[in-house]
A and B are shown apart, each in its own frame.
Chain A
Amino acid sequence: MPVTLLVSAAEPSCYNRTVNEWWCTAYLTDYRSELVDATVEHLLITISAVLLGIAIAFPLALLARRFVRLETGIMGASTALYTIPSLALFPLLVPFTGITATTVVLGLALYALTILVRSILDGLASVPDDVRESARGLGYGRASQLFRIELPLALPVMMGGLRVATVSTVALTTVGALVAHGGLGNLIADGVLTNFKAELMAACVLSVAIALLLDVLIVVTERLVTPWTRTRVRT
């Protein structure tokens, strides 16, 4: 039936070539699977990068604390690495990891690492000396003092670092579009290339939303695991 076909073709879609609106709900429903895939990839890359960063940052920070000579080296190297723009860091990793998501995860983990090592060291330094001394007086060994006294007390500062690392990792993941693994960044790149405004806007908004969501999640977790920070001393 040609009449109905004509009508459906003339149906105003806010994302067709002639209209090309910035905000378009029809795009969100029609391209749902594409958006979901990109968001999932974005989250996977971000979370693996931050977890990998934590896994490397902890031993490094503990080493740096134990051996003062190492501290300058570790901090210097990670800060130097941090000055390399992500668009340059990913290519530098490509000879080793190829055009894969691993390249992006590894690069982002290296950035997260810099922030995390600093915040772990700052957090441990924020533990008051008399608390440390009391722990030693109570007979805590080196390891149990670290895990049961110092690390819990360092949590607020470390969580602050984790927030910064996570939020910047979400933003940086978009640059992974260079090696075709940028999560929502792929959609942004495609949006610019094809002048597809609805796609571009949706991807930008989603990536900021992911950053805010993860930030809130970390704040909530922090409140749950550090109940003592909210108990006020009554006078």
Chain B
Amino acid sequence: MSVFADVWQYLTDGSNWTGTGGILDYLVQQLLLTATALALAVAIGLPLAMWLGHIGRGGFLAINVSNVGRAIPTFALLALLVTAEWPGIATFGPFGRAGIATLIALTLFALPPIITNTYVAIREVNSEVKEAARGMGMTGWQQFRRVELPLATPLVAGGVRLALVQVWATATIAALVAGPGLGRIITDGFANSYYGKGIAGAVVVAVVAMVLEVLAVLAQRAIDPIPRGPQHRTDDALPQNALPTTT
């Protein structure tokens, strides 16, 4: 299979890694984009879902936002945002319309896992523990800050982890609408029937996705404030079917 030889050749040629439009250039773009979108989604979704979980309302919305997010193709939303007159900021950054459209789509798709997991995390804190906290005279804020939040942290972090995987995947798809990121190498390769290049791009994207996932799992374990035995790893704290809506 000569395709594999092409892939190897593309990946081992140093000139493909450096310079404008090189792998590293796109990698940095995509990492920046991913970090920005994730930060935006956390800033919007986390407080909202924590508040809803604390007061115990809006559960239907918080749970179903994930189901709705799953039914809307990322590609479709990206395509609509890029083509729409609004938000038509053609001068925004080097990628113009596609850049801002990608950022909006990424943030929107990162919200469902964050909102659903955070809501469930806060909500599912043992009600006896909550009652005990109230019995000890804690105010609503104290109860949230000192009881619910520490207990919910692993699950909340799990939601952010799922969102990270989701955002990375969506950022790759941005290339289908001429957005920034590593996906460009894939789409360029396929558009020009240079499959070795396309597949090389895919290898880089897949490897980085797995590295990010491993780093996120480690971070999730590190920030868990409650010491747990080896048999109670934070993974077990994730709800069943805690899979990202992959794209």
Contact = CB atoms under 8 A, between A and B. Distances in A.
Interface of A: 79-80, 82-92, 94-95, 111, 114-115, 118-119, 122, 160-161, 164, 167-168, 170-175, 177-179, 185, 188-189, 191-192, 195, 197, 200-201, 203-204, 207-208, 211-212, 215
A174 B201 CA distance: 20
A86 B169 contact: yes
Interface string B7-25: 0000000000000000000
Nearest to B242: A118
A22 to B, nearest CB: 8
A177 B75 contact: yes
B247 A94 contact: no
B48 interface: no
17 contacts: A83-B244, A85-B247, A86-B173, A86-B247, A87-B169, A87-B205, A87-B247, A88-B205, A94-B195, A111-B246, A115-B241, A119-B241, A168-B245, A177-B75, A191-B83, A207-B76, A212-B71
Given A85-B172, A175-B75, 19 more contacts: A83-B165, A84-B209, A85-B173, A85-B183, A86-B246, A86-B247, A88-B202, A95-B1, A111-B246, A118-B243, A164-B243, A171-B74, A175-B73, A178-B186, A191-B83, A195-B83, A208-B72, A208-B73, A211-B71
A170 B201 contact: no
B70 interface: yes
A175 B187 CA distance: 11
B214 to A, nearest CB: 9
A167 B73 contact: no
Interface in B153-201: 165, 168-170, 172-173, 175-178, 183, 186-187, 189-190, 195, 198-199, 201
A167 B71 contact: yes
A171 B71 contact: yes
Contacts of B178: 192
A87 B183 contact: yes
A132 to B, nearest CB: 20
Contacts, number: 165
B190 A178 contact: yes
Given A95-B199, A192-B83, A161 B206 contact: no
A164 B177 CA distance: 26
For chain B, the bracket of interface size reads 35 or more
Given A82-B244, A114-B243, A168-B245, A87 B76 contact: no
Contact of B70 (A92, A164, A178, A179): A164
A79 B209 CA distance: 12
Given A82-B244, A86-B246, A95-B1, A174 B73 contact: yes
Contact of B71 (A79, A177, A215): A215
A122 B169 CA distance: 26
A74 B175 CA distance: 31
Contacts of A195: 83
Contact of B73 (A111, A204, A212): A204
Given A171-B73, A208-B76, A179 B190 contact: yes
Interface string B228-247: 00000000000011011111
B70 A168 contact: yes
